[in-house]
Amino acid sequence: MAIGGYKHIAERPVDPVGLPANSGNTYYNTANNYDCAIAGLPFFLGISKEHPYKRETAQYRKQQIDQQKEPGEQTLTGWWLRSQSSFHYGAGIRYEEPVEGETVGYRFNKSAGVDVFNIGRVTLLPDVAKNTSITVSSGVTPIMVGGTDANGVDLYLTATGSTLQLTTTSGTSTLTWGGSTSILALAQDGANYYVLAAAGVYKGPLTGATSGTLIFTNPSFLGTVTTGVLGWVKQRLIAGIQNGLFEINSIVSVNVATTYVDGAFNANITTASNHNFVVGSEVTLSGVGSPYNGTFTVTSVPSQTKFTFFVNNAAVSTNASATGTVQLASNNNLPIYVHPNPSWKWSAVCEGPNNIYVSGYAGSYSSIFRLALDTTTGNIPLLTRSLEAAIMPTGEQIYCMGAYLGKFIVLGTNKGIRIGTIDTSGFVSNGYITYGPLIVITNGYDPASGTVLSGYACRSLTFNDRYAYVTISDYIDNGDGTYSSGLIKIDLSRDFGTLQMGWATHLRVPSIAEAVAVCVMGQTNQLVIGVKGTGVYQQTTTLVNNGYLQTGQIRYFTLEDKHFELVKLRETLPLKGKLKLSSVLSTGSVTDIITVDNTFDFTQDVSGLDQTADLEPQESIALKFTLYSASGQQVGQEDSFNGYQLKALPAVHRERIYTLPLLNFDFEGDKYNMTTGYEGRAMDRLTALETVESNGDVIILQDFTNNESIRGVIESLSFSRETPPERRFTGFGGIITVQFRTVV
């Protein structure tokens, strides 16, 4: 540009005349035939042995150090691995992501017909069979309670309408319980059963040896009795009838030992054995003599062998050898508590360490009340106000409730299942309940399936060992597009979060009708399920025909597509039945891969996962394992599926690195010997290219030698000066080496 310190007209005009046009980041060759352009800046290629033009694949796999509990799971070199060796923390996850917590590696999405709670083993569940001796008419809700009678016989009682039936291993018989109207509630104390009906509460022996008799008459202020619940807790029978709460005591005759009337007209009675009276009890004395014979209201209970009532009589001296008897009157109906809302319905009774709990609801309001025990006499005092231990969210109603080990409370509601804990830490907070989130959702958004559910309420529960069993209706996905009713099994010894316990579906009944009752048949561990308008189903010793387990969607904690290639199955041999492997896309589409039997070599990998979606790579995939039983296969002969290992490779579009040697001199010539340039041009272009690199934006690389146009970013840039300065020229020039990374 400058010669001898002066600008010469013969040089400067040569540069702009016939220059190629520049439009944004795109360059168009006109007069000079450049080899390439970067972000609209044209260059000639300076390819040589020392400065080659290169194209290579950019690194696409991240190197990681594996610090997870499953060896090899997080090493993204070679195969990408995901495996599970146990499923004992239950169902409910949508994605199989170990980063979400240590227990996620032992959970899955959903299942049906399989037991997952033995570590390292998935086995088929027992089947159920309908008790054909019990008829449940359309619209009738069966009520059930299990137990063992005085002779050690395991049994369960079923109430259907006005009929009460006793079922043992010997068969089913009908009991005469003492009434003829519809049975509203059942309970048992290990020796006797209790029935709530419109007239009152009836009592009879579990053996069925004699008929039941009325032991409590429903008070008239309740009106026509249509709802109620019974519970045998802390050696007491608690009844929630309409909106009233009562303690029901048996009418047992007790001998009178001593009597006297004090100056305040209080008759003080001592009994020869423990009585069952509380403050407010109506008692009848006979054969004692004046002024004691008659029916009176108990005003004080100093101990279980003493009680007091008021008589309108002068003082009578002590009779240390009194005779006669005393017993509860038939109209012993003074309530413990009456809820102020006449529409209130009591739904469940259970016990805690220091309290008795009763749940109920009215409209959108539901809560749990606690009845504190009198620490001096052990009696339940007459309550003058409500003592709420927990209040449910608006719109959520408690239908069933049960306590476990004096610590946990399981709640079945119209929204699903919750777990709570009982506070025993101090005097002020003692007895209050803290509950966690819904672990099973039947109404509302279900994160495990990603759908909004509008199903049935959970209406009944029972306990056996460390497990809780809760009825569920039209909820169990059979894996073939159909649904069943049955049970949810909760392992109360395994938590995966605050008040969140491992759970999975359990026994299924061949119906989507509402499952409304569940009990355990004595000490047999056999579960019995009552289905509204359908029947009663008992657990059998034969395995179900098939069951399955489906993992969460596996995506290796990245949204990039993958090629899911191989699966290794883990099975305890010999395999009596069959095992089928299927793949499940995030859309729910299922593709069966292979069905194996005992002849299969379980040491080899199963291929064929890439059959899914016509060989297209996927962001995620789930695996479904279906177990099939052999003909007549029995409990104790279960096949054991132990786990799997999945292998995949990343399917990301490969990025390329272009290494371009670019000539950068003040004056340059193209292949047609057309010269272009000016003094200082090399520095100007280097500065312009460095500015483009600094911005880090996506630009266009044009290679005119092969008509290629590529989007990408400048990964690196280096300049090697190859000309010395001269007296007349700066001599600034050399080779620019650009590493250009494509983006996709």
| Dihedral Cα 630, 635, 637, 639, nearest 10 deg | 70
Q: What is the pLDDT of residues 595-624, one digit of tens each?
A: 999 999 999 999 887 665 445 788 899 999
Pick from 14-18, 80-84, 621-625, 636-640: least confident: 14-18
Q: What pLDDT shows up at residue 391?
A: 96
Check if the beta carbon of residue 499 is closer than 8 Å to that of residue 410: no
* Six token digits for residue 598: 């005992």
Q: How far does CA 119 lie from the centroid of its chain? A: 18
100 Cβ contact list (under 8 Å, min separation 6): 93
Q: What is the pLDDT of residues 488-509, one digit of tens each?
A: 999 999 998 899 999 999 999 9
Query: Is the preceding peptide bond at 20 cis, omega within 30 degrees of 0?
Result: no
* Six token digits for residue 692: 């483009």
**Sign, Cα dihedral of 675, 679, 680, 683:** positive
Q: What is the pLDDT of residues 320-337, one digit of tens each?
A: 999 999 998 876 677 888
Higher pLDDT, 331 or 339: 339
The CA-atom distances, in angstroms, between 629 and each of 577, 596, 632, 636 are 5, 13, 8, 12
Q: What pLDDT shows up at residue 77?
A: 56
* Six token digits for residue 332: 């012993």
Q: How far apart are CA 506 and CA 664, in angstroms?
A: 75
Query: Is the preceding peptide bond at 126 cis, omega within 30 degrees of 0?
Result: no
pLDDT-derived band at 249 (thresholds 50, 70, 90) equals confident
Q: How far apart are CA 365 and CA 286, in angstroms?
A: 47
| Dihedral Cα 207, 213, 218, 224, nearest 10 deg | 90
Domains and CATH numbers, the chain: 2-57+655-742 (2.40.30), 80-122+546-650 (2.60.120), 128-219+227-248+335-543 (2.130.10.10), 254-328 (2.40.30.20)
* Six token digits for residue 43: 């260059």
pLDDT-derived band at 10 (thresholds 50, 70, 90) equals very low
Amino acid at 544: V
Q: How far apart are CA 612 and CA 589, in angstroms?
A: 9
Pick from 184-188, 332-336, 541-545: least confident: 332-336
Q: Of 666, 662, 663, 665, whose CA–CA distance to 11 is shortest?
A: 666
5 Cβ contact list (under 8 Å, min separation 6): none
Burial 130-152 (b: 16+ CB within 10 A, else e): bbeebebeeebbbbbbbbbbeee
Amino acid at 202: Y
Query: pLDDT above 70 covers what percent of the chain?
Result: 90
Q: What pLDDT shows up at residue 447?
A: 87
* Six token digits for residue 566: 């191989």
Q: What strands lie across the sheet with 41-43, from one edge to the other?
A: 41-43, 36-38, 699-703, 708-721, 734-742, 656-664, 54-57
Average confidence (pLDDT) over 427-454 = 88
What mean pLDDT is reported for the chain?
Answer: 88
Q: What is the pLDDT of residues 42-88, one digit of tens each?
A: 999 999 999 999 999 887 665 544 445 444 455 445 788 899 999 99
Greatest pairwise CA separation for the chain in angstroms:
146
Query: Is the preceding peptide bond at 650 cis, omega within 30 degrees of 0?
Result: no
Q: What is the pTM of this model?
A: 0.81
Question: What angle is formed at CA 640 by the lines to CA 634 and CA 641, rounded to 5 degrees?
Answer: 140
Q: How far apart are CA 118 and CA 122, in angstroms?
A: 7
Q: How far apart are CA 113 and CA 628, in angstroms?
A: 10
Q: Of 400, 401, 408, whose CA–CA distance to 493 is shortest?
A: 408
Q: Which residues, in sequence order, are bridge partners of residue 716? A: 739
Q: How far apart are CA 462 and CA 469, in angstroms?
A: 5
13 Cβ contact list (under 8 Å, min separation 6): none
126 Cβ contact list (under 8 Å, min separation 6): 507, 539, 540, 541, 542, 543, 544, 635
* Six token digits for residue 336: 């413990």
| Dihedral Cα 266, 271, 274, 275, nearest 10 deg | -50
Q: Is the pLDDT reported for residue 348 higher than 80?
A: yes
Check if the beta carbon of residue 370 is closer than 8 Å to that of residue 359: no
* Six token digits for residue 573: 């041999």
Torsions phi, psi of 599, nearest 5? -85, -10
Q: What is the pLDDT of residues 136-148, one digit of tens each?
A: 999 999 999 999 9
The CA-atom distances, in angstroms, between 413 and each of 361, 498, 519 are 10, 19, 18
Q: What pLDDT shows up at residue 61?
A: 62
Higher pLDDT, 427 or 119: 119
What is the H or E stretch that residue 689 is in? helix 681-695
Q: Is the pLDDT reported for residue 272 higher than 50?
A: yes
pLDDT-derived band at 669 (thresholds 50, 70, 90) equals confident
pLDDT-derived band at 9 (thresholds 50, 70, 90) equals very low
DSSP label of 687: H
Torsions phi, psi of 713, nearest 5? -130, 155
Q: How far apart are CA 234 and CA 232, in angstroms?
A: 7
* Six token digits for residue 383: 């309550």
Average confidence (pLDDT) over 529-549 = 97
Q: How many CB atoms lie within 10 A of CB 575?
A: 20
What is the H or E stretch that residue 338 is in? strand 337-338
Tell me whether residue 8 is exposed, middle or buried, using C-beta atoms within 10 angstroms of its C-beta: 0 to 12, 13 to 18, 19 or more: exposed
Q: Is the pLDDT reported for residue 239 higher than 90?
A: yes
Query: pLDDT above 90 covers what percent of the chain?
Result: 69
